[in-house]
Amino acid sequence: MQASDPVLDIRNLRAMLPGEAGPITLLDDVSLSVCAGETLAVVGESGSGKTMTFRCALGLAPAAARIVAGQVLLEGQDLTSLGPEAMRERRGAVISMIFQDPLTALNPVFTIGSQIAEVIRAHRRIGRAAARALAIDVLRRVHIPDPARRVDDFPHQLSGGMRQRVLIGMAIALNPRMLIADEPTTALDVTVQAQILELLTELRRESGMGMVLITHDLGLVARHADRVAVMYAGRVVETGTVDEVFARPLHPYTTALFRSIPSLEGAAAEMLPAIEGQPPMLADLPPGCAFAPRCFLGRDRADCRTIRPPTDAAVQGTHVSACLHANLIAAEAA
């Protein structure tokens, strides 16, 4: 494997869920990759598939969901072909995921030290004392003050920010090659958010692991990611470097999203240019482009309303969009 090969390479992933009126497509031809030392941000709204993609990749999807096509290559090995036991061995050791809510992800009746030690002992054959020493070291790495004493704290004795640090510690305890952070700071104050993301960036730099940052906050993407993928209704509609996508979006959804968020700078206009309507239900997707009914370009275009665009309908080097009319965006959006 070469240095530039992606650590995680999701190829054409398609996942279905049985529904009352026929199967529902949760993920439609999702391709994403992350290299060592790189941060990929995955942006989208509820139901866009941003969390589902990685739950499927890690074998954590709801029981009824089925991967029907595609591959999830982790350091070249396809995870979709692994049994549950082999998957469990990799999860937490080679690839880890941290979730949004640090309140519910920790068990209230065990000390944080014993919960970190448990993760370590599930993958490594070491004694309790050695695992405890490693747990203290992990707490030090995530900058929990006085770790030798804090190791015996219960979750309720810690603030929300400190709990999220513990969860990050559990995720990186075994030095994974890949860390998936799913809205890691959504439940936290902006000051704590800044501290947590600074910590994640520091850990990534030290270890050279790849990172996926699942978020709805475009500011976090701008500050912390190298590349970004925008998802809508189960598909990746745009990918590129952060500079490419922010400077010149190639998908109308991305353009409209940027315009609709209030900013700390510039004129505070009376009305925000909102995206009208609701994101579609996955069980009831329109026939063409899923964004067409809300799109300033596609709303009245017959091709957008009838043809499902390929995910690489527009390509400019590393910048890829699933829009049939990407060349018109800059002019129409102005």
Partner 1 sequence: MQPLLQIDGVTKSFQRRGGRFGMRVSQVHAVDNVSLMLREGETLGLVGETGSGKSTLGRLVLRLVEPSAGRILLAGRDITMLPRRAVRALRRDVQMVFQDPYGSLDPRMSVGALIAEPMVVHGIAKAERRERVQDIVHRVGLDRRHLDRYPHEFSGGQRQRIGIARAMVVSPRLLVLDEPVSALDVSIQAQIINLLRRLQRDQGLAYLFIAHDLAVVRHVSDRVAVMYLGRIVETGPRDAIYARPLHPYTVTLLSAVPLADPVRERSRQRVMPRGEIGSATAIPPGCRFHPRCYKALLAAAQGAARSSADPTVPALCAEHDPPLIEAASNHLVACHFPELAGAEPIA
Binding site for partner 1 (CB under 8 A): 45-46, 159-162, 189-195, 198, 216-224, 242-243, 246-247, 256-258, 260-265, 268, 270-276, 278-279
Smallest distance from partner 1 to CB 263, Å:
6
**Widest pairwise Cα distance in the chain:** 67
Q: Map residue 184 onto helix, strand or coil.
A: coil
Smallest distance from partner 1 to CB 282, Å:
13
Torsion angle, alpha carbons of 81, 85, 90, 91, to 10 = 110
Is 300 exposed, middle or buried, given 0-12, 13-18 or 19+ CB atoms closer than 10 A?
exposed
Smallest distance from partner 1 to CB 51, Å:
13
Residue number with CB closer to partner 1 (154 or 258): 258
Per the listing, tokens 């990407």 go with 326
Question: Nearest 5°: phi and psi at 280?
Answer: -70, 155
Write out the two tokens for 78: 């396809």
Smallest distance from partner 1 to CB 71, Å:
30
Residue number with CB closer to partner 1 (111 or 164): 164
Positions of E strands within 24-143:
24-35, 39-43, 66-74, 77-78, 95-98
Residue number with CB closer to partner 1 (216 or 299): 216
Residue number with CB closer to partner 1 (161 or 169): 161
Smallest distance from partner 1 to CB 190, Å:
5
Residue number with CB closer to partner 1 (9 or 183): 183
Residue number with CB closer to partner 1 (273 or 286): 273
Laid out side by side, the sheet with 6-17 consists of 24-35, 6-17, 66-74, 77-78
Smallest distance from partner 1 to CB 222, Å:
4
